[in-house]
Amino acid sequence: MAAWVTGASRGLGRAIAVGLANNGWRVAITARSAEGLSKVASEISSSGGEALVLPADVTDPDSLRAVATEIRNAWHGLDACITAAGISPIRKPGNEISDQEWREILRSNLDGTFWSIREAARLMLAAGRPGSIIAISSVHGQVGARGLAAYSASKGAIDALVRSLAADWALSGIRVNVLAPGYFSTDMTEGVRRSERSRSALLDRILLNRFGEASELVPAVLFLASPDSSYVTGSTLVVDGGWTTM
């Protein structure tokens, strides 16, 4: 089984890539940082796994086409794609968001996700075999918050995009789903976790009263990537410790 993970050099993307490899998947890993990817690949290979290091910027569709070509040449197809690449929120009221900030977030989080999914689907369709695509979104694609207009817009658009793409490719055997994490202990949430006020406010809302560990997202990825979820497409699986119930 072969999987492609974007945003694999750190955070949730790294945990997903390592988790897949530890469960027998060959993993193509993509991010802008070649150095970061090399560290992840070393971790995977030290445990007996196979990693294909393919640095690329998801905001550049040409580089993603090149990645897809490398995957096709190496493995002749693809069984799963997980799009974990994206940038963290710019926290400011909507009236203060600059044109450049808006475009940067939408281009990284939404455009990059679509372009990655498109290339993965093309690989799967060309090989004529079923596959699973998992777009990493966020609880903020469903629930708004102050200062997160651009980020929430990008993640909510991913949720809608996936529903349409699931309809496009259902009869071709390609399932497309969203995995929406809540607050995990990663570098993206370091700022809010270090602020006592922000940390307390978040923990008061999380039913399990703690931040998730990146490894806790892996079982959800394994489920959606595998035939165990063969009747699941166009859906959103929320993994948030109960945050969205409040």
Local confidence pLDDT in tens for the 246 residues of the chain: 999 999 999 999 999 999 999 999 999 999 999 999 999 999 999 999 999 999 999 999 999 999 999 999 999 999 999 999 998 777 899 999 999 999 999 999 999 999 999 999 999 999 999 999 999 999 999 998 888 999 999 999 999 999 999 999 999 999 999 999 999 988 777 767 777 787 888 899 899 999 999 999 999 999 999 999 999 999 999 999 999 987
Quick check: is 138 in a domain? yes
Domain membership of residue 191 as a residue range: 2-239
Distance between CA atoms of residues 142 and 138, nearest Å = 8
Quick check: is 126 in a domain? yes
Q: Are 165 and 117 in contact (CB under 8 A)?
A: yes
Quick check: is 246 in a domain? no
Distance between CA atoms of residues 12 and 5, nearest Å = 10
What's the whole-model pTM score?
Answer: 0.95
Q: Is 183 annotated as catalytic?
A: no
Would you state the pLDDT for residue 179? 98
Q: Are 122 and 167 in contact (CB under 8 A)?
A: no
Would you state the pLDDT for residue 213? 95
Q: Are 233 and 156 in contact (CB under 8 A)?
A: no
What is the total count of domains within the chain? 1
Query: Among residues 4, 114, 151, 211, which one is catalytic?
Result: 151
List CB contacts of 8: < 8 A, sequence separation 6 or more: 14, 16, 17, 27, 29, 30, 31, 37, 40, 84
CATH number of domain containing 61: 3.40.50.720
Quick check: is 173 in a domain? yes
Quick check: is 244 in a domain? no
